[in-house]
Amino acid sequence: MKKLTPILVLFLAFTQLALSQTRAVKVLDTNWKFQKGDFEEAINVNFNDSKWESVTVPHDWAIYGPFDKNVDIQKVAIVQNGEKVATEKTGRTGALPHIGTAWYRNTFTLPAASKGKKIMLLFEGAMSEPQVYLNGKKVGEWAYGYSYFYFDVSQFVEAGANTLSVKLTNKEFASRWYPGAGLYRKVSVIIKNNQSIDQWGQFVTTPFISAAVAKVNIKTKASGENTRLVTTIFDAEGHQLNSEESTTPFGKEFDQNIKVENPKLWSPETPYLYKAVSQLYVGNELKDEISTRFGIREIKYEANKGFSLNGKITKFKGVCLHHDLGPLGAAVNKSALRRQMKILKDMGCNAIRSSHNMPSFEQLELADEMGFLFLAESFDEWAKPKVENGYHLFFEDYAEKDIVNLVQATRNHPSIVMWSAGNEVPDQWGEAGVKRAKWLQEIFHREDPTRPVTVGMDQVKATMESGFGALLDVPGLNYRVHLYEEAFSKFPQGFILGSETASTVSSRGIYKFPVVQEKMKQYPDFQSSSYDLEACSWSNVPDEDFVLQDDKPWVIGEFVWTGFDYLGEPTPYDESWPSRSSYFGINDLAGLPKDRYYLYRSRWNTDKPTLHILPHWNWEGLEGEVTPVFVYTSYNSAELFINGKSMGVQKKNKSTPQNRYRLMWMDVKYEPGTVKVVAFDDNGKAVAEEEVKTAGKPYQIVLDADRKTITANGEDISFVTVSVVDKNGIPCPTATNQLKFKVTGAGTYRAACNGDATSLEMFHKETMKLFSGKLVVLVKSTTAAGDVKLEVSGAGLKSGKLTLTATK
């Protein structure tokens, strides 16, 4: 028998509710109408929205631009960056038109069988200050654009057509980076019986684990009288393992303990997932059923030992990630997230911090499946402001509600091993801030006693004096490498987390001379050097963190700022234009690795060797000039050759942090040809080599897809790296050709990105310049199966052609 696709099953469950006794979930992804502007009359059922734009959700209205310095121009001193004098800033929130009011409308149909049921509306992300109306009546509102929230709309719905209207308002000066705009995550309608399991009402923990057996504790909150709960655990292959029936709830909560024999433990190396299926009965009638994925794993944080997972000391090799996905903006897309996480996995990264916002459900699902430890963060502001219209306006009324929703919605993810109550909040100063930190931490503990709480602290001296840092479960230091020793001696926890580290800045494929270590260095082209020696006034280069991570067992890991470039915060060029996205990323905005990627990989990826040469070797006009060569490698020594002539052997040593982690030939003089490096193992045997060659003129376009088969669901994306080579197939690292993109067949052109923080070309236009010889084209599926053809062309270049396959 042919299996129904999940989407079809979902549709049938929703439209034929009479056949089901449990629940149905309908994701409202299509048939949306959108218009920017204030249309209060749009709450009315008969409002004519026929001239509004038709969109799908998730949707980010601002990513389509244009870039405009006047969008977020402001005169401000960024206190977190140590600034004392206000200066004019541009591009701080991405210079995209996210400010203003907009409306979304959708009409969904409920079958007659839904009468008398409990109907809920779930929003996974709405930027910002959403007001929700159903059939002309206001059902509720929220404030925080990053929070998940839901409303019981049973009293507002009607059998048949229902009109949903959502008003969103983005104020200026409400964020320190690009927040996105619109219904940027999923919206769902949930239909269930009145006797049912509460929304996010299940909490799965594993309080006892041995090699022979694990105890799985499942607490389930449910509504209704005379109910009984049957929970069955299945392994990853779908085999039924054990089951328990409970007839006595404690209050509204069932408390079950189920044995799993010979448990397979979840970890980044072996992300094994079980499933608990809970069925709620009244008598013999099934009233509700939910399925919860979980992992069996044990976490501990211990003084002088640090973090352990399943009894093994584990360091966080983590990155911070903002929620935007480059050319897609804030609109969540699972294939884009999966690509990011594959790139991070290859780097050896094992942890992600959702900074400074609540993570998407999709990101957490992938973290569970792919094996990432997760630090789930809540706020960038508490009661004291950083920006004029920030979260401080809502803190008193919403902070507890937002934390409750964050924890209850996500606590069953085994990937989450820590909560963050905030980041660099000005409340670090003074007694009131200490009390707020304690209050927030206690809310987290009440909702989830199994995980600790941290705050990313930048005012470390202040938190030492006030007691702020001492009360936290995990003291998180943002930068301040010079204060680690003092913080460790004064804080009682017995360990320190690098909750935010490095903030090294670089532009992919751009190299500046002379090669020296600099802070806040600026150049006429508004780029930063990819020799990875430039940082900000408050930050540092990666090697300084590596020393602490390697030499101090009480330093339990780091979360690098950032894994990928993001829209907004173009430091050190936030006083310059055009400059509209960050330079902090280990990977650029297109997801292409910078040189720094290989520096981290050489230390973090212990399974595969790394050998990477920089810079490129196209320096026409600089013949005879000093052009240092760096090698990022997991090997401890290597020999460099320029056109066959040895430049000598370099060995890693502890004379400086850079010499400890990089091999550097500082006196090489440029001559066109071939740069070759030969790496040696610890016995002096040559075991690997790498070459970089001088390229001729651009000749041909080359296409390389991350996946050649995509799913025909209207959402899946193939990311195609576009580069240019010369007649001999050598990549042209300085090419800036203007290219055009054409997609035909069972797919559409979605966007392009070249990773240039100064580019004002719009992502959705079917043309873009190469940056440092590369860019990425995003090809999106439709709902039709078949071939998808991409052609990329440019004046004077041999076109590149690629065929993808979209399958059902």
The burial of 607, by beta-carbon neighbours within 10 Å (0-12 exposed, 13-18 middle, 19 or more buried), is given as: exposed
- CA dist., res. 806 & res. 544, Å (int): 46
Hey, which residues are catalytic here?
A: 424, 500
CB 150 within 8 A of CB 182: no
- CA dist., res. 728 & res. 696, Å (int): 8
DSSP string covering 545-591: HHHHHHH-TTEEEEEEE-SB--BS--TT-TTSSS--B-S--SB-TTS
- CA dist., res. 723 & res. 792, Å (int): 10
CB 575 within 8 A of CB 90: yes
- CA dist., res. 642 & res. 612, Å (int): 15
- CA dist., res. 273 & res. 265, Å (int): 8
- CA dist., res. 98 & res. 178, Å (int): 8
- CA dist., res. 563 & res. 322, Å (int): 9
Pairing of strands 611-614, 629-633: antiparallel
Tokens, residue 784:
């039709």
Q: First-to-last CA distance in the chain? A: 16
- CA dist., res. 739 & res. 794, Å (int): 5
669: three-class secondary structure by DSSP: strand
- CA dist., res. 65 & res. 181, Å (int): 12
436: three-class secondary structure by DSSP: helix
- CA dist., res. 299 & res. 301, Å (int): 7
Which stretch of DSSP H or E encloses residue 446?
helix 431-447
Tokens, residue 430:
């003074």
Given CA atoms 557, 559, 564, 565 in this order, what sign does their dihedral have?
negative
3-state class percentages of the chain: helix first, strand second, coil last, to nearest 5:
15, 40, 45
Which stretch of DSSP H or E encloses residue 426?
none
CB 235 within 8 A of CB 262: no
